[in-house]
Structure 1
Amino acid sequence: MALTSTPATAHEDSDISAVSEALVSGTTCETITRRYLDELSKLESSAELNAISMVNPDALTQARAIDRRFAQGDNSRPLECVPIVIKDNMDVKGLPTTAGSAALADNIAKRDSIAVARLRGAGAIILAKTNMAEWAFSPMRTISSTHGETANPFDTRYVPAGSSGGTASAVSVGMAVAGLGSDTGNSIRGPASHTGLVGLRPSIGTVPIEGIVRWSRLLGQVGGEVKLIPDVIMPPVWSSDHGGHAPHDLVR
């Protein structure tokens, strides 16, 4: 059955530029973050979407830190307060990285993956981790042994494809402004096309893949799933200006 709310219209601040405008106009980052967390909780509990594997308990703490920066006149980072969800094969410090497998349920990340570190450095709020096809193996469906099957937000009788279907469904229905997925053979592009999003699988070597459980070391890539074409670039992900650089991850 279809959701009662239309995907991608849950918030006025539903794209990166709108979040920036809201902050400049006086809306606090804590308010924006709490709004998204509330929407995420409501949809996950009522819509049978099953897009989220774990909520980040530190999201509001991150938001308050951003509000303190703003109060001191520091608002220069490009993704300041942008709520983002992360596929559950990427390390987020302090949270499990399961790759959709119960075998990794206790695999707690000791540090952020390079891509996540760059997002944090650019000011993004890591809201949650998303369900994925187990071991990123299926491009057709998103089913894990940790959180079951993710549904398509336009009609929950259908699938969002895979393996980054949790990220795509979450962003499409308005749980986050943007999300990170990974793609070896179709795992960003398929879910984006199934859920009305823009998805980008960047060229091999563009984004360091350190800290990611990937199906193929040589072919697996990190990319974005967003609502608007300008947002899919997310320059901080591709630039070492906001985080570490891992040259040994680049394919030579």
Structure 2
Amino acid sequence: MSVAERAAGATPVATVEPADADAAPVIALRGVRREYVMGGQTVQALRGIDLDIRRNDYVAIIGASGSGKSTLMNIIGCLDKPSHGHYLLNGQAVADMGDNALAGVRNTEIGFIFQSFNLLPRVDALHNVMQPLVYRRMPYAERRERASDALRKVGLTQRMGHLPNELSGGQRQRVAVARALVGNPSILLADEPTGNLDSTTTEEIMTLFDQLQADGQTVVVVTHEPDIAQRCHRVITLHDGLVKLDQQQRPLAC
């Protein structure tokens, strides 16, 4: 099953208290490590991550190749489990869940947005957005209504009946955002969401993320692009599997 389908030596950390420090975090990681065995050697992808992300946060996770950001994204998205440590998502200890329970959490709690869109090529925008709701055994009429509403939110009411190859790159990513939103997830988790887009379309997608966050959505963007990170309100920098910096910032335009 594809990712889309499943849709010591620490540098001192600069921490900033969030505005609502007393609120229970949506995401809480404590001492999270992830180890892989490759070629008979143990690779430390994450070496002890402590991290809270609260409701309505707008977070960028950045870092060079090999810093651990993809591994951290997979753990936050319940696509992988820590080797050690604890991860709570809305108070649920997801690290201890079985595969079926994790699949349920991914379907209900997390809206995934990928760089390559991952749309079904032979069905229209409306039915692409409806797809996550199929796994909830939701009646067709309700699925259609919710998918139509999600496409309206991303400005694609007039393109619901179009196949992905009839849409621009920016429109396809908007369909992907609508698909992520349709289940009313706790967090939107975007992996390099503008990597395949030109600068004008990147601005459009990031403006959409800005609006979603302003409307109350929790947004986490994994990126290697500094200008994308500058759009977010908080930037978490990883280095060698550790949090190097965790900074609140005043967002800049793309």
Asked if TM exceeds 0.5, the reply is no
Structure showing greater relative contact order (alpha-carbon pairs closer than 8 Å, 6 or more residues apart): 2
Larger radius of gyration: 2
Q: Return the structure number with greater strand share.
A: 2
Query: How does the TM-score come out when normalised to structure 1?
Result: 0.30
